[in-house]
Amino acid sequence: MSEHMSESTLRTGDLVPDVTLPTHTGQNISLRDLKGRKVVLYFYPKDDTPGCTTEGQDFTRLYPEFQAADAEVLGISRDPLDSHCKFAEKYGFSFPLLSDTEEEAVRKFDVLKEKNMYGKMVMGIERSTFVIDRDSRIVHIERKVKVEGHAERMLDIIRKLP
């Protein structure tokens, strides 16, 4: 256990933590303000890296279907807004990327983990997704996400929510 572990890890049924973050599209999004809509909140390690690019492209491809199911998709990493803007523009992402440079959301959602990068231990985001229902409750948590087929699985979960 490192000192970076949060006191309580979120569980399904918990109310989503209230976090407000800036997006690459120029507005601020507050998670609690999304009450009434279904939300897929996915945390990814870094802009413009292979897995993160594929994940963003998959969510973009399915974004019209998420919207048809009255759901919002939000990607979060610790990258700054200018990095998010370049990343979203390069690949034509159609949903907001939130910038968590202060690590407020990554800590509240407990997705900051010790990772081994080329033999050195560093703190990084563990690819994780949270599905939030219309009452702002977390209904699904997936950690150590495997990118392939992930967006499709999240869409299936969203479609089953009232």
* Average confidence (pLDDT) over 117-138: 92
Domains and CATH numbers, the chain: 20-160 (3.40.30.10)
The phi and psi torsions of 109 (rounded to 5 degrees) equal: -95, 0
HSE-up (13 A, CA, CB side) for residue 46: 5
Residue ranges of E strands in the chain: 20-22, 28-30, 38-43, 71-77, 97-99, 112-117, 120-125, 128-132, 138-142
Residue 6 identity = S
Return the percentage of the chain with pLDDT > 90, whole number: 86
- Which helix (DSSP H) or strand (DSSP E) does residue 108 occupy? helix 104-108
Under DSSP, is residue 51 helix (H, G, I), strand (E, B) or coil? helix
What confidence tier does 2 reach under pLDDT thresholds 50, 70, 90?
A: very low
Under DSSP, is residue 47 helix (H, G, I), strand (E, B) or coil? coil
The pLDDT tens digits of the residues spanning 19-64 come to 999 999 999 999 989 999 999 999 999 999 999 999 999 999 999 9
Residue 142 identity = E
pLDDT for residue 115 is more than 90: no
pLDDT the model gives residue 8: 59
Catalytic site includes residue 85: no
**Nearest partner of 58 among 39, 34, 42, judged by Cα:** 42
Out of 21, 52, 88, 131, the active site residue is 52
| Inter-residue contact 69 to 159 (CB < 8 Å) | yes
The pLDDT tens digits of the residues spanning 36-48 come to 999 999 999 999 9
pLDDT for residue 5 is more than 80: no
| Inter-residue contact 14 to 20 (CB < 8 Å) | no
By 3-state DSSP, what share of the chain in percent is helix, strand and coil, each rounded to 5?
A: 30, 30, 40
pLDDT for residue 4 is more than 70: no
Reported pTM: 0.92
